[in-house]
């Protein structure tokens, strides 16, 4: 190979590699009506859009740049362009208060850099179609807000990235989690379902053992915690059960696995602080939140302030 040609190819390769991670913002006119902000990290804001072609043009004019976070907000679009990530590195995508006929025009291209996807108060007229997650093989964080997901089942398990580390649902009216939903996510450390309609949880939604460290089930409709629910979870440290209808947290829910819990919240539950709850006071976590509703002599008292001597058990 001619040495001049060789070095030309080499130089072009280095230029491409460099340009694909270029920091800062493109020319403001080239990305209008979107705006870009750079302060160590680069953020792109695209608000009040009504045409997917506008977004396509913005990303075409962003080729070679790195966006740490992209916000598409307050917009009504037919879809997101499938090639919007091509030659543009996007680490986190936030879809906030937008309406889409469908999420992507077709299966998105070049999404290997996308690590975080937040879908907040965003309506896909064809519903939440889990198939859109299939190309996002490197997705680490998935959060969905204000969408109706009454049942979390096999479609989520089939299409979500197996590299997922954090999964959150907020205000999604979730009533049911099917068995085995989280079984095939070996890196999953945190599961959060806030402000749902869960009435019960079962151990089989997680693998055995499950090695995650955080569970958040705040503001649901849980009335009881079944035996063994948190068993064989050796790394569990944060357990958030506030704002439910729990009167008791039974010891056998942990099957000897309670010692690792550092943060336990039971506030805004009608807690019955009788002998069935003494075990928590005997082995208090570093942070314990919750107030007794019953019996009368403990009403209004904080769990963290109780001592074993407050319980008179046979």
What are the pLDDT digits (tens) for 18-53? Answer: 444 678 999 999 999 999 999 999 999 999 999 999
What tens digit of pLDDT does each residue of 295-308 get?
999 999 999 999 99
Mean pLDDT score across all residues of the chain: 90
State yes or no: pLDDT of 155 exceeds 80: yes
Percent of the chain scoring above 70 in pLDDT: 92
Distances (CA, A) of 143 to 28, 120, 310: 30, 8, 42
The number of helix segments (H) and strand segments (E) in the chain equals 4, 17
Task: Indicate whether 9 pLDDT > 50.
Answer: no
Q: Supply the pLDDT for residue 134.
A: 86
pTM of the model: 0.89
Examine the pLDDT at 4 and tell me if it is beyond 60: no
140 vs 16, higher pLDDT: 140
99, 111, 149, 176, 296 from 198: Cα distances, Å: 27, 33, 12, 6, 29
pLDDT value for 156: 94
pLDDT band at residue 107 using 50, 70 and 90 as cut-offs: confident
């Amino acid at each position: 190979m001619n040495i001049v040609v060789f070095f030309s190819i080499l130089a072009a390769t280095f230029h491409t590699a460099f340009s694909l991670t270029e920091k800062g913002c493109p020319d403001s006119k080239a990305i209008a009506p979107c705006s870009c902000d750079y302060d160590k990290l680069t953020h792109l804001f695209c608000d009040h859009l009504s045409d997917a072609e506008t977004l396509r043009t913005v990303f075409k004019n962003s080729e070679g740049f790195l966006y740490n976070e992209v916000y598409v907000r307050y917009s009504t679009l037919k879809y997101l362009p499938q090639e919007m990530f091509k030659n543009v590195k996007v680490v986190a995508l936030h879809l906030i208060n937008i309406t889409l006929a469908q999420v992507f025009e077709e299966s998105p291209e070049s999404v290997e850099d996308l690590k975080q996807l937040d879908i907040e108060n965003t309506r896909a007229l064809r519903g939440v179609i889990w198939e859109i997650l299939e190309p996002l093989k490197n997705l680490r964080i998935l959060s969905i807000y204000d969408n109706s997901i009454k049942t979390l089942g096999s479609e989520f398990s089939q299409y979500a990235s197996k590299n997922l580390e954090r999964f959150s649902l907020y205000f999604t009216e979730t009533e049911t989690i099917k068995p085995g939903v989280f079984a095939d996510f070996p890196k999953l450390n945190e599961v959060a379902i806030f402000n749902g309609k869960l009435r019960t949880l079962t151990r089989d939604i997680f693998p055995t053992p499950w090695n995650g460290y955080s569970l958040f089930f705040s503001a649901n409709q849980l009335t009881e915690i079944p035996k063994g629910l948190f068993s064989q979870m050796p790394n569990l440290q944060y357990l958030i059960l506030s704002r439910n209808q729990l009167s008791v947290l039974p010891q056998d829910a942990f099957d000897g696995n309670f010692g690792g819990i550092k943060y336990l919240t039971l506030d805004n539950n009608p807690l019955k602080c009788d002998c069935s709850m003494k075990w928590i006071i005997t082995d208090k976590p570093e942070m314990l939140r919750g107030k007794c509703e019953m019996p009368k002599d403990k009403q209004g008292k904080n769990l963290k302030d109780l001592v074993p001597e407050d319980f008179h058990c046979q």
